[in-house]
Structure 1
Amino acid sequence: MGVILQDKVALVTGASRGIGRGIALQLGEAGATVYITGRRPELSENFKLGLPSLQHVAKEITKRGGKGIALYVDHSNMTEVKFLFEKIKEDQDGHIDILVNNVYNSLGVSTCFILPVKSSVFQKATEMIGKPFFDQDPSFWDTINDVGLRNHYYCSVYAARMMVEQRSGLIVNVASLGGLKYVFNVAYGAGKEALARMSTDMAVELGPYNVCVITLVPGPVKTETGGFSRASSQTDKRKELLVPSLEKAESPEFTGKALARLAMDPGRLKKSGKTLFTEDLAQKYDFTDKQGMEPQNIRSVRTILETMGKTDVAKYIPTKVKVPKWVIWQTVNRF
């Protein structure tokens, strides 16, 4: 990819593993200085699962050609979030080019139907799958949306202040299909749709300052915590949330490639306010996943038919035949 983003400064929240790590590595490979955040070692799920530390990820970024800077931040503590941006502002003379709001506090991975294990927060969240909201403690809303929505707003405010000053920037909110249809539970879906709405409205106010804001929706992603292989032992209720073509799940760095290419696109402002799918960006910017594998497109008619169990029909449909976005909008339109 080269060092096209060599002079750019990025922040990726929740980058110790999964999609956040994949995004940070790809931005680093493009030459960017990448600040990454995660929990302190004693609180990190990585430590409990025996996965590499946040500092290790920062070193990976540097090895790829960028500059990785690891900072421990509790994204449920807005004082710490404020200090995070003050440090970046001081270090970079008030400059930041890319903000990726990825950190999430439940369901393991915020953007896909992967079911990792051994996380107490995750276990609490998955216990709520299929349980009506009125049978849950209302504080479950905060478990889901404190870090995954409220924090994103705070981070966007602090980043936007610097971007408006420099008259350029990119804010990416990593979201989920849960913003388009019922997934998991009410609190999850409400938070994901609110995140997309936030991107759209921020784009209106930031457009005059040449700042692009988009919502990025990956497909199913196979992560370091076991992903689909561990999911196979889950209950039938949880299995129903998985797509059938598991071998075509994205790698975390596939999302990273999509975001890095978008960051390099001089015409990205035309996409501001929109919800973008990783597979669509792969086709637009002409890249594939590891070893040339093309993940299934969540708008693909074949994928949808396979999800419905109609595999005999699906095999005759070319993978590039996709449902138009206006059709998806019609399915969620409430008017």
Structure 2
Amino acid sequence: MSLAGQIAIVTGASRGIGRGIALQLGEAGATVYITGRKPEESLNGKVGLTGLEETAEEITKRGGKGIARYVDHQNMEEVKNFFEIIEKDHHGQLDILVNNAYQGVTTISENMGKPFYETDPYVWDTINNVGLRNHYFCTVYAARLMAPRNKGLIVNVSSAGGLRYLFNVAYGVGKQALDRLSADTAVELAKKNVCVVSIWPGAVRTELVSKFFKDADGKPRADVKNSDIFANGETVEYPGKAVVALASDPRRMDKTGRILVTEDLGREYGFVDIDGLRPPNFRSLTFLLQHMGWNTTANFVPSWVKLPGWIMWAGSSRL
């Protein structure tokens, strides 16, 4: 119970990565506020319970305290009011914020393969209102609570889409901006001992991903590109283990402003996924060779051999 007594917020936690992070924070003993819009159906069909409420119950069962709050992260007044409640109820204490809320998954899937100029330009707002603008507002309100106490951790859930083209233009621009948000807020919060990072999960087996990339027998779909990568990727709780490790690390300020890959953190802190496996790392040379179809060559390369971060950045540079 390394986080007992700490107050955490995870936005967008009714399902997917947000839910996994919230569950792991609860398992570590934290009081976890989870937010989301009220869905029409719950995850397991319990009468009277929504997915967000089910997640809160599971957090409490694991030893923490789960508190569900319905917040429309498109509405900044609701966001502001939510943080005011946290400030009032906990005398200004907030230890952890995880910015995870996202609205663009359906829009991305519906417009997959279409160039930006053939897509409704309002796709930008759908993808980046909740997924970027809201994160900035949440970071502002969280920092106002953390800075006076000279402690805190802010985690922005981002992706390698901030490095090079992935899905569509609006997605990539939003993710790179989110990584810059982490880097620049870290500069101004460094003197307040508040750590700000972006985390990049690998391929994650979320509920939606599993539905899309697996067949009726639970095997990777042969007709969908890269289905084996996603079908065998991280569980939603693996990023949560990464967040708990960061929150428990007294030297986490050494990482502030950085982009952190979840599997790199697993290697550093010595944790594995909840199924006992180590997920693939997209910086691993073995993973990259397999992704390109060079499976025989990949068999001769140790899994721990990885591309340095600066090479990945250099490969995407336009300078």
Judge same fold: TM > 0.5, yes or no.
Answer: yes
1:188-203 maps to which residues of 2 (within 5 A)?
188-203=171-186
Q: Distance in 1 between matches of 2:188 and 2:45?
A: 42
Q: Which residue identity does 2:153 align to in structure 1?
A: L
Q: Deviating runs (4+, > 4 A) in structure 1? A: 44-52
> Is 2:224 the counterpart of 1:239?
yes
Residues 103 and 246 (structure 1 numbering): CA distance in 2 closer, same or farther, change over 3 Å? closer
Q: Distance in 1 between matches of 2:69 and 2:211?
A: 31
> Is 2:246 the counterpart of 1:248?
no
1:12-23 maps to which residues of 2 (within 5 A)?
12-23=10-21
Q: How many residues align?
A: 312
Post-superposition offset of 1:232: 4.8
Post-superposition offset of 1:263: 0.4
Look up the match of 2:76.
Answer: 78
Look up the match of 1:125.
Answer: 108
Post-superposition offset of 1:106: 1.6
Q: Which residue identity does 2:38 align to in structure 1?
A: R
Q: Distance in 1 between matches of 2:164 and 2:224?
A: 17
Q: Is the 8 A contact 1:254 1:289 kept in 2?
A: yes
Post-superposition offset of 1:230: 3.0
> Is 2:137 the counterpart of 1:137?
no
| RMSD between aligned residues | 2.1
Q: Distance in 2 between matches of 1:49 and 1:219?
A: 31
Q: Distance in 2 between matches of 1:245 and 1:194?
A: 26
Structure 2 counterpart SS, 1:290: coil
Look up the match of 1:284.
Answer: 268
1:266-277 maps to which residues of 2 (within 5 A)?
266-277=250-261
Structure 1 counterpart SS, 2:237: helix
Q: Is the 8 A contact 1:243 1:307 kept in 2?
A: no
1:256-267 maps to which residues of 2 (within 5 A)?
256-267=240-251
Look up the match of 1:315.
Answer: 299
Q: Which residue identity does 1:328 align to in structure 2?
A: M
Q: Which deviates the most, 129-138 or 196-205?
A: 129-138
Q: Distance in 2 between matches of 1:34 and 1:270?
A: 25
Q: Distance in 2 between matches of 1:148 and 1:217?
A: 15
Q: Distance in 1 between matches of 2:149 and 2:288?
A: 43
Deviations 1:142-178 (A, max 9, x none): 0110000000000000000000111110000000111
Look up the match of 2:134.
Answer: 151
Post-superposition offset of 1:247: 5.0
**Aligned counterpart for 1:53 among listed residues 44, 51, 57:** 51
Q: Distance in 1 between matches of 2:108 and 2:278?
A: 31
Q: Is the 8 A contact 2:83 2:142 kept in 1?
A: yes
Q: Distance in 1 between matches of 2:282 and 2:308?
A: 11
Q: Which residue identity does 2:271 align to in structure 1?
A: F
Q: Distance in 2 between matches of 1:316 and 1:84?
A: 53
Q: Which residue identity does 1:104 align to in structure 2?
A: Y
Post-superposition offset of 1:48: 9.5
Post-superposition offset of 1:246: 4.4
- Identity across the alignment (%): 53
Look up the match of 1:204.
Answer: 187
